[in-house]
Amino acid sequence: MTDAADPTVVARVEALRTDLRAHDRAYYVDGAATIPDAEYDALLRELRDLEAAHPELASDDSPTQRVGGGFAPTTFAPVEHRVPMMSLDNTFNPDEFLAWAERVRKGLAGDGEPPPVRWACELKFDGLAMSLRYEDGRFVQAATRGDGRVGEDVTPNVATITELPDHLPGGAPSVLEVRGEIYLPVSEFDRLNERQDAEGKPRYANPRNTAAGSLRQKDAAVTATRNLRFWSYQLGEVVGGPELNSHASTLAWLSELDFPVNDHTAVFDEPEEALAWILERERSRHDDDYETDGVVVKVDELSQRELLGSTARAPRWAIAYKFPPEERTTTLLDIEISVGRTGRVTPFARLDPVFVGGSTVGVATLHNEDQVRLKDVRPGDTVIVRKAGDVIPEVVGPVVADRADDSEPWPFPSTCPCPVGSTLERAEGDANTYCVVPASTCPERRWQGISHFASRGAMDIEGLGERTVLALTRSGRVADPGDLYTLTSEELLEYEGFATISADKLIASIDTTRSRPLPRLLFALGIDHLGPTGAELLAHRFRSLEAIAEAPEDDIAAIDGVGPTIAASVRTWFDDETHGSIVDKLVAGGVATDRVETEVVEPVLEGMSIVVTGSLEGFSRDGASAAIKARGGKSPGSVSKKTTAVVVGAEPGASKVTKAEDLGVPMLDEAAFVALLETGELPPSE
């Protein structure tokens, strides 16, 4: 009989596990540590030692087996909406709106005279659609919209929103789904960004994305600190309860049940009156502490809604009138350049910060030398700024009338302003300028290369954010990705923001990436022109990193779908001695270099149509479209009503961007595209 039977050992192991679980819960769920780190460590070490001495007591659910923060699920469970969560059709000008109203009237007329219609108007909140489910008067579930049929269960996160009732008064329906928008007040958004500034962390982009990120926290305690709010505007499944016959009475009833209902609502007899209200709301859109991107007009009478019905996507009885993208003027303080991980130099405008399209814009890309020339923007100019597709800050052009007499066109620099002062070169026929020193000597390229290595479509090192990468490279501890695999928890503790749990967690997540498949590893190395698709092809042809490192250029170029540009770039990369040492470090650090079993590419883009415009850093045009098709999506050459999203690279086609804007098609940058390929999910954008 072994020691395991010793009841004191068993009891001690159990006691330690119970204690550690309670401390973990306090730390991860309630957001407050209950013991000092050192004591926590001592308990964990004791448990680890006991488990090592008594392997028969090992258990998968022991706190020693957890990477940390393992309470909430890593993915959110699917929830099937019993009543689908529909989208809305959009209109962008008075004519389109009045034409819709006319269609509604005709639709209700049948063969006779159109009946009177009342138009209920309310704000279109710029947040995330959510369905709250109450059963027998108790809050039981919150689900995101997802694709309209199946959303995600975010109940613990939504439960932190204090203004939502968790119980309904007697007489409430036995099943009640209240739909509405979760949003982050602008004042909260500003407060969060002030905190980010104070801590030297990157700013959040806009309230909507921040709300989405706050909701998707695995740890609801983090959500609780974000002070999210909710506006109710619709019902889903309802069983029992009072007879309701209009939208206005539905909202009044929801308000009586203590659901937050916005005050800016109105009901009109004539569409022209609704239109006047819309234009008034557009003028005052920034008077409130939440973002709106339009007005929603709904047929008030519920029986008329039934007659009108819905298309597959949206009800015929409601329409969104979208406000035009905002334009603001500000001062262009300076034009600077940044160097990306491939050495590509991008000029960008540093602006006197201006609030436009839902967030403060202080910088905007100018793409390349030709774009700066074409727009002829100069430091000191008053410039017009807007958000392309509501996301990407864009300098539209200068207000020439306001320009100083002695202003000169901006000269594109020929050397990098960084301490290395490298030469910047633009090849004949290429729109882009490049820094010509090797990546290993350029401080900017170095940390960006490591960030890319750790990013989602690459090695996907959870918890290794930009700030940590910057700190690790600045201290000199990490010079290239190979150095990540010798990091220890103890070393991480030296860096700001790390405690024992977070340090262990990062080391554990680095560890899991040792077995990433070869295509990911290859892509992660950041070889110019080699995107995920090219990496996949190379991995399958040569089967190991070592074999690729040795492969003759012609053999690489001969692979169907690879071509001479990638082949030359791959050869150049591996021929560089500093890169050889990265490969050596990765191998020494235990990173697998020959895992080529096909990563099952899930058909996550099935039914989607993704248009790519402009050039991307990690994908050729064909590579991007192959990646979309491999996941079941379509990749047509032009934007239409059926387009799911437009990926906007450098120098996008103006007509595609304008069309996408007009149709309200979401636009993505390259990072969001890589995430889309991974998950099939668009960044929240309703």
Residues that bind ligand IVH (CB under 6 A): 86-88, 122, 124-125, 129, 145, 181, 233-234, 296, 315, 318, 320, 686
Taking the complex as a whole, the smallest distance from the CB of residue 237 to ligand IVH amounts, in Å, to: 13
- Residues in CB range of 406: below 8 A, 6 or more apart: none
Please tell me the distance from the alpha carbon of residue 197 to that of residue 123, in angstroms, as a whole number: 32
Nearest CA among 107, 232, 219 for reference residue 165: 232
**Is 106 designated active site?**
no
Nearer to ligand IVH, 27 or 233 (CB): 233
Nearest CA among 339, 403, 338 for reference residue 364: 338
Nearest CA among 266, 273, 324, 272 for reference residue 298: 266
Nearest CA among 528, 342, 337, 363 for reference residue 415: 337
Please tell me the distance from the alpha carbon of residue 250 to that of residue 130, in angstroms, as a whole number: 17
Please tell me the distance from the alpha carbon of residue 125 to that of residue 686, in angstroms, as a whole number: 9
Taking the complex as a whole, the smallest distance from the CB of residue 145 to ligand IVH amounts, in Å, to: 6
Taking the complex as a whole, the smallest distance from the CB of residue 79 to ligand IVH amounts, in Å, to: 16
434 token code pair:
């490049």
Nearer to ligand IVH, 66 or 322 (CB): 322
Catalytic position from the list 106, 124, 641, 659: 124
Please report how the helices 577-588 and 563-575 are oriented relative to each other, as an axis angle in degrees rounded to 10: 80
Nearer to ligand IVH, 277 or 574 (CB): 277
- Residues in CB range of 656: below 8 A, 6 or more apart: 611, 613, 638, 639, 646
Taking the complex as a whole, the smallest distance from the CB of residue 179 to ligand IVH amounts, in Å, to: 7
Instruction: Give the start-end residues of each E strand in 137-290.
Output: 138-144, 150-152, 175-183, 229-239, 265-268
Nearer to ligand IVH, 296 or 351 (CB): 296
Nearer to ligand IVH, 47 or 318 (CB): 318
Amino acid making up residue 336: E
Taking the complex as a whole, the smallest distance from the CB of residue 81 to ligand IVH amounts, in Å, to: 11
Taking the complex as a whole, the smallest distance from the CB of residue 356 to ligand IVH amounts, in Å, to: 20
> For residue 430, which phi and psi values (nearest 5 degrees)?
-105, 135
Nearest CA among 71, 16, 610, 648 for reference residue 387: 648
Nearest CA among 5, 236, 288 for reference residue 127: 288
Nearest CA among 448, 464, 472, 468 for reference residue 510: 464
Question: Degrees (nearest 5) of the Cα angle 537, 542, 548?
Answer: 100
Nearest CA among 134, 129, 122, 81 for reference residue 257: 134
Nearer to ligand IVH, 14 or 280 (CB): 280
Taking the complex as a whole, the smallest distance from the CB of residue 357 to ligand IVH amounts, in Å, to: 16
Q: How many residues does the chain have?
A: 686
Nearest CA among 620, 660, 661, 623 for reference residue 640: 660
633 token code pair:
């999506």
Taking the complex as a whole, the smallest distance from the CB of residue 182 to ligand IVH amounts, in Å, to: 9
* Residue nearest to ligand IVH as judged by C-beta position: 129
Please tell me the distance from the alpha carbon of residue 610 to that of residue 91, in angstroms, as a whole number: 22
Nearer to ligand IVH, 91 or 473 (CB): 91
Please tell me the distance from the alpha carbon of residue 47 to that of residue 24, in angstroms, as a whole number: 14
Q: Is 530 helix (H, G, I), strand (E, B) or coil?
A: coil
Compute, in degrees rounded to 10, the torsion defined by CA atoms 451, 455, 457, 461.
130
Nearer to ligand IVH, 24 or 152 (CB): 152
Taking the complex as a whole, the smallest distance from the CB of residue 125 to ligand IVH amounts, in Å, to: 4
Nearer to ligand IVH, 357 or 531 (CB): 357
Give the active site residues: 124
